[in-house]
Each structure stands twice: as C-alpha cells, then as structure tokens.
Amino acid sequence: MPRKPSKPRPNPCPTCQGTGEVSRTVRVGRKRRAVGEQSGICLTCLGSGQATD
Ligand SMILES: [Zn+2]
C-alpha cells in the first residue's frame, strides 16, 4: 500500500495574508507626518506568505 505524501495545506500568514509583504506607514519629522507607505518583508513568515505551524 503506497504511502500518500502529505500535502502541505495552504495556510496563509495571518500577518500579511499570504502576500509575504507588509506595508507600513513612513513618518517623518516631529509631527510624524505620514509621507507614504513602504513595503517590506513580512517578519512573521519571512516573505514566504505561509504561516509556519
Ligand atoms: Zn507573512
């Protein structure tokens, strides 16, 4: 009886919703004015987009 390979279930990272990237607002100055958004690697899944079990 052949063994079935266990398929990895797609389990998207809850932090980045599986995109592997997170955007954060960039603020400058003492008033902390938002100048835009910067996308960076998701530190929860390290860019893989999948939640580690
Ligand atoms: Zn993530």
- Cα(32) to ligand 1 centroid in Å equals 26
Tell how far the Cα of 50 is from the centroid of ligand 1, in angstroms: 6
Q: What are phi and psi of 19, to 5 degrees?
A: -85, -25
pLDDT confidence of residue 14 = 93
Q: Is the dihedral of CA 32, 36, 41, 44 positive or negative?
A: positive
38 CA to centre of ligand 1 in angstroms = 15
Question: 1-53, pLDDT tens digit by residue?
Answer: 778 777 666 789 999 999 999 998 989 999 999 999 989 999 999 999 998 77
Q: Is the pTM of this model over 0.85?
A: no
> Mapped to the 3 state alphabet, what secondary structure does 3-52 carry?
CCCCCCCCCECCCCCCCCEEEEEEEECCCCEEEEEEEEECCCCCCCCECC
**The pLDDT value given to residue 7:** 67
Q: What is the reported pLDDT for 41?
A: 95
